[in-house]
Amino acid sequence: MLRSLGGAHRAMAGVAGVARRWSLVLLMAVGLSACGGGGGGSGGAAPSPPPGETQLSSSAELGPAGGTLGTQGLRLDIPAGALRSATTVSVLSFTPEAGELARFRFAPAGLELQVPAVLRVPVAALPAGARLYWQVDGDTVLLPATLEGGTLVARIGVLGFTANGGVLETAQASLSTAPRVAAREGVQSVSREGLQADAPANSGDLVVALANCPRDIAGLKTRLRNAAQLNNLTMAATIFNELQALMADCSDASAQQLEQDACTGLSAAVAQASATPARTFEDVRRHSSSLMGAMAYVQKASASCPDNLLNRANALVPEAFNQFLDTLLAGVRDGSLFEDAGPRDLSQLFDYEANCQLMALDAVCDRFTDQIYPDLLDAMRQASFNECRQTNGTLVMSQFHAMGVRFGNDAKFYDHGRFSVADVRKDISYCTDPRVELRVFEDALDIPAEIVERRQNLQLAPAVGDYRPLATTQVPRNGSLNFNGVFRGQRCATGESLPADLVVRLSTIELARRALVNGNYDFSAQPLDLVISRVFEQTGLSTELDGFRLSFHLEGGRCVLPAERGEVADTVVLDRRETLFEIDVGLPGQAAQPGLFKGPASLSEERLQNDFVRLTETLSHRSSVLVTGQFEEIDPIRARLTGARVAVTAEYRSVDRRTFGSPNTCQFTRIVESVTNINAGVDLPEVFLSGGLSIDRPQKSWRLTGPSLTLDLPSQKRVSTRFENVLGDCSSVGLNPSNESLSDPISMNVLFSVSNGGTGAGSSVVTGPITEDAQGRLQMMVSGGHNLTDANTGNYARTSVSMQLADR
């Protein structure tokens, strides 16, 4: 797994959620930790001495119905519903200390109220500018209050220090402890850590004193910094508004000091970010939080900082992210980022990209799709291939393949790879390093004698992507081919063995089959021996052939990937015939044969397929293909068209609809629509026909089973992604619609099926005679095709094959 990325997650929520909370207010608050003038207390003074003797007190047992009590003019109104049960509540009045007008204490200290209480202090006997403060361990913090009819009125959610409604917790705690945050009818709870003080249970005296701008500003800065540490946006916004209101009442000198503090804080954040490279994402988050917070503080304070400082601050955020990506990319490329075969998903990288996009760092974010994802997928492919080769088992390679299949893009693995899903399928076939010993014998039906100089040891896959599935050999017509070796069976991503057979074919004709036994296809205990004369008997091919090609396939297997959350059906993979390797067998010493057939040929196909459903995809296909040219027989089972003219119009449409997630958190339906258009008219020097037409000169007959050909054509592809049925909070996932256009060549395989008048598309064979003209030249008129239409859907498939051939 990725060491520095931590565990892989199924949803982009954690880190992206943090980035999303980088709003202007919170970032401004974070920046205060680097700003000057942020100390607590009265301008940094020592804690106040203990208060004097108790003067008066008021006590009452109150219950859920609430009640009122007070002393020395102070009145506390506890509304109904504030207390859960009967509680003895007290208000104590102390002799005020120097510089104070009054001092009170509430008991039980720290009692949380379910509904805020109202605190009233008459101002008739107080000098102008009197305010209410909480005092905790020497820190004097302004308690917001309004003047209503000659009375200072404040609302409190706890009996004790509130920091704008926060609860004073008395338990010992450290700054590393996760804060407890509660929201209850506007009453918010701040943790003990936010106070940065070990307050005793009876802390939190209410003090009435005259306004002191330096002290009050310092206290608000302390509260603002505490709110930022708690990630409490509501509290931070409220405190900053209080700070602005206080600045309006204070002198210009204080406002100038606030501006100076903002620039000083920005300078400190710039210096810190410049001095420490961002090698982890936590470094990026810390630098960005500090810089962007300091910049927000500058903006809020309307501070005029030097341009070079502002420019440097703006440049440092993308610079920090780029530094992190440099480290990440280096780890991908040198392999230090991996353990075993690497990560099984990319969700942690998606988290990082989501953060990058939320920070609007477009140029930096492009590095994910241009460098990070492609390089990482290359490394993951190589690591999976290496583990397969080391363990001689395909499980990890199959799991990597399943990852790409689930994403549903055959062209680019996981939508970002430099390779395709089909390439990884080949990796599964070759990663166990299959090797074949090929031996050639003569006099196979008498006393076989090996032609030692023709022995070959075939290594089919020296390295990932370097596959050599084709070999050639020469075999006497009275001889045989012997194959010796062990092929490891393949495994599904779920761990089960792929239940496929290893089949040897000449064209479409099966020559031999081996079942999977104990996880292997074993040709060592029982070597595969193919006698040439028996091959001709088994296939019915003419002995005049000068060679043929043998193909070794895996056939009949399938793996089922159980549907994951949000998927509507299981996914079937590894179910197609997979060619492992091929041998071109030359047959020297062929007797002279008559000339080969040649003549004009025309092949056409028209097809319409609407709304075919495959798992989560709905597929549609419309095509028209016309190929004309000069047919030339290469041997009785191989042919080509020379001077070919190809006209193709086609449209392939796929709509993949998948639902992800849970409605309790985030659920959405992703619709990926892919449309590929081909509109080509090309001239080709030659096009090879695969199978379909067999010519039997001794029997003077031909046999048409449907030739096929492969065309490489230009295409235009449009891929669009949109999201529907969004439920829950999906803001961290980044559900951004997209549109992409590609101009890529496409390999198009066309089968010109024929029918003998029946209704089955591939059920028939058309045969015909070879005749002689007056001069004794052989000639034949080859004609076939079919016309199938579904009356219910309107889908159709129409083909036509026409050739006028003569012996050259």
Model confidence pLDDT, tens digit, residues 621-645: 899 999 999 998 876 667 888 888 9
DSSP classification of residue 226: H
Q: What does the pLDDT read at residue 451?
A: 93
Residue 271 pLDDT class (50, 70, 90 cuts): very high
Residue 698 pLDDT class (50, 70, 90 cuts): confident
Round to whole Å and give the CA distance between 397 and 467. Answer: 16
As to burial, measured by CB atoms within 10 angstroms (0-12 exposed, 13-18 middle, 19+ buried), residue 395 is buried
Question: pLDDT higher for 766 or 245?
Answer: 766
Round to whole Å and give the CA distance between 166 and 144. Answer: 13
Torsions phi, psi for 124 (to 5 deg): -60, -35
Quote the tokens at residue 67: 């009640």
Q: What does the pLDDT read at residue 649?
A: 93
Question: pLDDT higher for 277 or 744?
Answer: 277
Strands, E, within 615-691: which ranges?
617-635, 638-662, 666-690
From residue 290, give the alpha-carbon distance in Å to each of 32, 269, 455: 9, 6, 71
Listed residue (143, 138, 141) closest to 44, CA to CA: 138
Average pLDDT over residues 488-516: 90
Listed residue (73, 80, 105) closest to 90, CA to CA: 105
Residue 232 pLDDT class (50, 70, 90 cuts): low
Q: What does the pLDDT read at residue 34?
A: 36
- The CB-side HSE value for 547 (13 A sphere, CA atoms) comes to 11
- Whether pLDDT at 439 is above 90: yes
Q: What does the pLDDT read at residue 1?
A: 30
pLDDT > 70: what percent of the chain?
Answer: 80
Q: What angle do CA 177, 183, 185 make, to 5 degrees?
A: 155
- Whether pLDDT at 66 is above 90: yes
- Whether pLDDT at 44 is above 80: no
- Whether pLDDT at 736 is above 70: yes
- Whether pLDDT at 604 is above 90: yes
Give all strands of the β-sheet with 54-62 in edge-to-edge order: 54-62, 87-94, 100-107, 205-210, 130-136, 139-142
Please tell me the least confidently modeled range out of 47-56, 282-291, 395-404, 472-481.
47-56
Average pLDDT over residues 740-765: 71
As to burial, measured by CB atoms within 10 angstroms (0-12 exposed, 13-18 middle, 19+ buried), residue 643 is middle
Round to whole Å and give the CA distance between 633 and 803. Answer: 12
Residue 176 pLDDT class (50, 70, 90 cuts): very low
From residue 705, give the alpha-carbon distance in Å to each of 585, 751, 755, 798: 24, 10, 8, 15
Round to whole Å and give the CA distance between 739 and 627. Answer: 34
Q: What does the pLDDT read at residue 318?
A: 92
Q: What does the pLDDT read at residue 707?
A: 84
Q: What does the pLDDT read at residue 228?
A: 59
Strands, E, within 83-150: which ranges?
87-94, 100-107, 111-122, 130-136, 139-142, 146-147
Mean pLDDT comparison of 171-180, 757-766, 775-784, highest-scoring range = 775-784
Q: What does the pLDDT read at residue 594?
A: 56
Q: What angle do CA 464, 470, 472 make, to 5 degrees?
A: 145
**Cis before 769? omega within 30:** no
Question: pLDDT higher for 390 or 50?
Answer: 390
- Whether pLDDT at 530 is above 60: yes
Residue 531 pLDDT class (50, 70, 90 cuts): very high
**C-alpha 653 chain-centroid distance:** 24
pLDDT > 90: what percent of the chain?
Answer: 19
Round to whole Å and give the CA distance between 425 and 394. Answer: 11
Question: pLDDT higher for 113 or 237?
Answer: 113
Model confidence pLDDT, tens digit, residues 703-712: 888 888 888 8
Average pLDDT over the chain reads 77
- Whether pLDDT at 173 is above 70: no
- Whether pLDDT at 202 is above 90: no
Quote the tokens at residue 86: 């009967």
End-to-end CA, the chain? 65
Contact in structure between 202 and 18 (CB atoms under 8 Å): no
Question: pLDDT higher for 372 or 13?
Answer: 372
Round to whole Å and give the CA distance between 368 and 391. Answer: 32
Write the single-letter amino acid at 437.
Answer: E
Element (H, E) at 528: strand 528-531
Average pLDDT over residues 321-338: 83
Residue 172 pLDDT class (50, 70, 90 cuts): very low
Please tell me the least confidently modeled range out of 49-63, 441-455, 620-634, 718-732.
49-63
Quote the tokens at residue 693: 């037409």
Q: What does the pLDDT read at residue 5?
A: 29
Round to whole Å and give the CA distance between 631 and 782. Answer: 11
